[in-house]
Structure 1
């Protein structure tokens, strides 16, 4: 849990300065459908491990669940000192309007019309600006935010480095349409509500909203299957390793995408869809380098 790393970092400084123990209030936010009970059940072990790592004099750590969209107010004004968001802000508040011409694509691709790319970007601008505005009201003066989201280096919003994994899922869905398993109309009415911004786009929105100063912004990359190298070494053949990698990537993408896919296409086609998706991914990973790009930005609300 990211909260443990933050608390440990603060405690190291507190103990060096020989200050008295302080209280921590951790506010966990997710959509109302999230299973907060599972998180809360894990807290006793979490706190026990935290105290063992830090030492017995750590102050009270109080946890609260906040079920709501982060594209709106979550906390009282000037009540929060630090905000951390990880792999969330690339999800949009809704599917953009005006995607009708994005035929048989579930996301932006190289052949998507300009109007589709513009619609996605416009929705990102609205959502990200609203997020900044709401957090600015909730943070104390001098408060900080660390945001990590999937993004891209390219200035092209439809570049392969940010859209490719969804394009391949679209290919798997198209195969099911061609086999008569899914109706074409169903596919053409389905769109992924996400946008993976570049560092420049983030800088533009932060400057326009004008509540924060960017301390740093960095781009990092990670292989689709982070265990690729280990699997290559352990596997009896490259072919076996690539099949395993395709399985791993399809498995975590299923965890990410299955809820919205089920709500649109139904649960009965999921197994067949992800078997086909796994095959497509394994084939592409055998031919090219496949990576995600993370954008991490540190911001401060001026005093």
Structure 2
């Protein structure tokens, strides 16, 4: 039900990819905390193909049935002009824009040597370009009103690594850099930009293979991590309570919230006379090797069961 004095009372929020899964859960939670919500979803399948005209409208109806305010948008984030229309929908219907949640995404997983240019470009266009287009469209309004929040969905596929996802991983790690740059450039206007790396069972993770008993067991554990577990952090980051939280990357895994590291120097070696290829091999690499980062997948790092 709608909270009449929630953390987002009188705020206006755009949530992209909000017709299903994590986006839907975030849109409902934003509305429950008092926000007016633009529910953006073009209604395509997991790969960006196919069409279902109704998912965004169904979420709008859920919000309205609970006493909230919402409007549907079917424009694509993957084009600059349509991203502008999504943000303008918020302004036209609710008079302002206070937060954009960049959640829209597709998957086209391929082992790297089989990945086509089309697979690469489609995923980049929705995830990385879409986050840029949406953030840029909102930035002018944020600057004028001297406030605003951006919440971007990243992934441990980019932060750590996963097989068969070069396109997705590159886009998702690019979003972290985009978010940090926005935070640096827009902080002077009281605009914040943060990332969430969500662990949740949704259409995006529904393609995880279950061809061995071990993989099937892991999928059953993943199903405990519902999209609703992600929404509270997104609501918080959109709210004034997070006014001092900027340029951070959080991961949410069932009932756990992590602050993720960002690249910083780990160790150094110095040679006053400079380096040759031979001394790099003989001195630098042996000295640095104990701090090398492994060729890890996300599941190699998050090895424990969700709690």
Shared fold, TM over 0.5: no
Q: Which has the larger radius of gyration?
A: 1
TM class by smaller structure: 0.3 to 0.5
Q: Which has the higher contact order (CA 8 A, sep 6+)?
A: 1
Q: Normalised by the size of structure 2, how large is the TM-score?
A: 0.40
Q: Normalised by the size of structure 1, how large is the TM-score?
A: 0.40
